[in-house]
Amino acid sequence: MGMKIALVGYGKMGKAIERIALSRGHEIVLRISSQNRQLLFSETIKEADVVIEMTNPEAAFDNVKACLDAGVSVVCGSTGWNNEVPAAKQLAEEKGVAFLQTSNFSIGVNVFFSINEVLADIMNKYPEYEVSMEEVHHIHKKDKPSGTAITLAERIIAHLDRKKRWEESQPGAAEVLSIHPVREDEAPGTHSVKYSSAIDDIELIHTAHNRDGFAQGAVVAAEFIAGKKGVYTMRDVLGL
């Protein structure tokens, strides 16, 4: 049975989500952009079964909070607001609704996350390999490094004893995982993790061809949390 979805953020990504949601039998009951953002704070938002929030780091927490306060479950793909995510999770628990926030909805990227952890665990035994990362996105992306890159880095650090923190930099201190962000043209997103030694390189790369992977994953996540309570991740959605 189709859901009633509210879209908070109606740019290129929001329109891609709309197209895929409609193709899967769902109804878009509200499309919120900067021009009609006041609807977030009205009774209208309560018409939705689930909100899909995809805006920017500055607006994300206020948007999510307004929806959760209204008793509506939220899936959020905005990145760059990590410090406030725990408060949103706590609010969802208090309000008895569902909340899912991810740096990337793409099914392929979430498989990539899992492979990245397996490789880091293996490479923990081989200190002769230096690890570094690069991420490439379109010039309109506001946060740098990307949320996806930060997720990849955090999961590497959790499994690789020789790395203690990440930095947006060129390779420096031995305990630092370097992330090199690139902004060019309209690139949807490429993330690479590279282990280099004097003998060889091992490289993992995920390249998005368009926005459809993100949009499809967002709709699948909304389908998963509809009618549920609590905090979820894409691992829950995909069974990874």
CA-closest candidate to residue 105, choices 9, 3, 2, 227:
9
Catalytic option among 4, 12, 138, 141: 141
Domain segments of the chain as ranges: 4-105+212-238, 107-207
Catalytic option among 26, 137, 191, 206: 137
Question: What single letter denotes the amino acid at residue 84?
Answer: E
| Beta sheet of 27-32, edge-to-edge order | 27-32, 4-8, 50-53, 73-76, 98-101, 230-232
Give yes or no: 159 in active site. Answer: no
pLDDT digits (tens, 9 = 90+) for 139-185: 776 677 888 899 999 999 999 999 999 998 766 688 999 999 888 87
Give yes or no: 206 in active site. Answer: no
Q: What is the pTM of this model?
A: 0.80
Name the CATH topology of 107-207: Dihydrodipicolinate Reductase; domain 2 (3.30.360)
pLDDT for position 203: 97
pLDDT for position 199: 97
pLDDT at 27 exceeding the cut of 70: yes
pLDDT for position 38: 87
- The architecture (CATH level 2) of 4-105+212-238 comes to 3-Layer(aba) Sandwich (3.40)
